[in-house]
């Protein structure tokens, strides 16, 4: 069998069957390009149609979400849940509420989730969901009514052994609370494990809020250690200023690094003294203001509405905002300014052209499906606690998180060496490692 022709044929079919979904095409291409060595060594996967089945979701749900705003006006949004692959366990992946959400975005996120979840070594499949609803500027009452309407349709597809959503952009503890309340109301069952990201007081896990940001930093730390380096004394830039970015800043500072810049949709902020974490949290989490408010409160900081955070000199870059935010020109600027390592805290924040710049320059690059696996890993730990009606301490949960990230890093390097030529090729290592685990399960379970 000509493996290259087989992969090209699968990708051509992805594009034909999913028109107008560039993010999904990009995610599929990024994985498929890595699979040649694995398919060469395991021809049985081709015979069983593993790749063809892997790129096709097991189930795609799209539904109307009607709700009433505070003025009494009926609003209509569109809800989504893509249950992509359950070979390893119940579908697991977040819900995103943002105006940009469409079927292609959800499919890209769900496809990435398959491999990310497999890399954790836990029994969870891949899925993703959300709605084109914008929670910004909405009252608590409006958000509650939207969440209740959304769950009124979605509940029939969920279950702790079937599909377990979590939060994502626009879906935090408040939204999870409203969603869980409606699920409980409709089903008359208190199934703690049906949603993760809950507050600790009623079934949530310590360290879940911090997990994605902490995990990305742990992964970057492991990459740096392969070259005898660490965060101590390093300059770091973090894109974004949401949940992932805030806790990435926190962990970098704890490890001796200095985060000198972060960003939001209005621009970026440079604070050469190091980002004041408490002020950042107060501006973004309490006041829900723009980063310019940080600069107003801290005269030494400079806010700019032009350029990008990647123009700032740094040793480590952690893109933690959204997909395709770091472009080729940004990667060139980072390399020119001496970046040593890049770890994706967001899902697919680097364009393919940017990744190629990093690889050609020999920069350590941790793809999101490996580097930001800490969030879903801790969600799986929350599921374990819910199943046992148990609660772990923050220290116990963070210790498990750190070990998961070390294991993911080790697994990526070992697979890159076994199926490639360079242990630093984390893209190949992550893609092939996740693929092998899922493919073996799919092969064992037959053609379904």
Residues catalogued as catalytic: 128
Q: Taking the C-alpha atoms of 142, 148, 152 and 155 in order, what is their torsion angle to the nearest 10 degrees?
A: 130
Beta strands 364-366; 302-304: pairing state: unpaired
**Structural tokens at position 261:** 């810049």
d(CA 406, CA 215): 9
d(CA 258, CA 271): 10
d(CA 78, CA 60): 13
């Amino acid at each position: 069998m000509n493996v290259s022709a087989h992969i090209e044929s699968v990708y051509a079919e992805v594009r034909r069957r999913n028109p107008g979904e560039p993010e999904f095409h990009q995610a599929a291409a990024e994985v498929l390009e890595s699979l040649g060595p694995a398919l060469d060594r395991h021809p049985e996967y081709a015979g069983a149609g593993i790749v063809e089945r892997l790129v096709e979701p097991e189930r795609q749900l799209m539904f109307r979400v009607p709700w009433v705003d505070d003025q009494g006006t009926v609003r209509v949004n569109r809800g989504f849940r893509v249950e992509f692959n359950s070979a390893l366990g119940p579908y697991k992946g977040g819900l995103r509420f943002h105006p940009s959400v469409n079927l292609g975005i959800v499919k890209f996120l769900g496809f990435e989730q398959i491999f990310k979840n497999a890399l954790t070594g836990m029994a969870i499949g891949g899925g993703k969901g959300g709605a084109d609803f914008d929670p910004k500027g909405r009252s608590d009452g409006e958000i509650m009514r939207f969440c209740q309407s959304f769950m009124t349709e979605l509940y029939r597809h969920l279950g702790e052994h079937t599909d377990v959503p979590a939060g994502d952009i626009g879906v935090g503890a408040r939204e999870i609370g409203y969603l869980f309340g409606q699920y409980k109301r409709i089903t008359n069952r208190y199934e703690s494990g049906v949603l993760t990201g809950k507050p600790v007081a009623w079934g949530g896990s310590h360290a879940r809020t911090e997990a994605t940001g902490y995990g990305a930093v742990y992964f970057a730390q492991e990459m740096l250690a392969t070259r005898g380096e660490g965060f101590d004394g390093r300059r770091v830039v973090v894109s974004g200023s949401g949940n992932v970015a805030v806790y990435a800043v926190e962990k970098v500072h704890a490890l001796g690094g200095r985060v000198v810049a972060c960003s939001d949709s209005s621009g970026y902020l440079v604070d050469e003294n190091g980002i004041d974490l408490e002020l950042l949290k107060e501006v973004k989490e309490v006041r829900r203001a723009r980063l310019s408010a940080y600069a107003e409160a801290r005269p030494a900081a400079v806010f700019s509405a032009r350029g990008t955070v990647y123009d700032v000199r740094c040793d480590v870059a952690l893109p933690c905002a959204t997909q395709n935010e770091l472009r080729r020109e940004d990667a060139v600027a980072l390399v020119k300014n001496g970046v040593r390592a890049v770890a994706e805290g967001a899902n697919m924040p680097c364009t393919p052209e940017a990744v190629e710049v990093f690889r050609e320059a020999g920069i350590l690059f941790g793809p999101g499906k490996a580097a930001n696996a800490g969030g879903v890993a801790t969600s799986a730990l929350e599921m374990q606690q819910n199943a046992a009606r148990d609660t772990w301490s923050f220290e116990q949960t963070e210790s498990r998180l750190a070990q998961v990230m070390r294991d993911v890093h080790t697994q990526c390097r070992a697979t890159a060496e076994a199926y490639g030529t360079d242990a630093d090729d984390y893209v190949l290592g992550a893609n092939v490692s996740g693929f092998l685990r899922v493919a073996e399960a799919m092969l064992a379970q037959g053609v379904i």
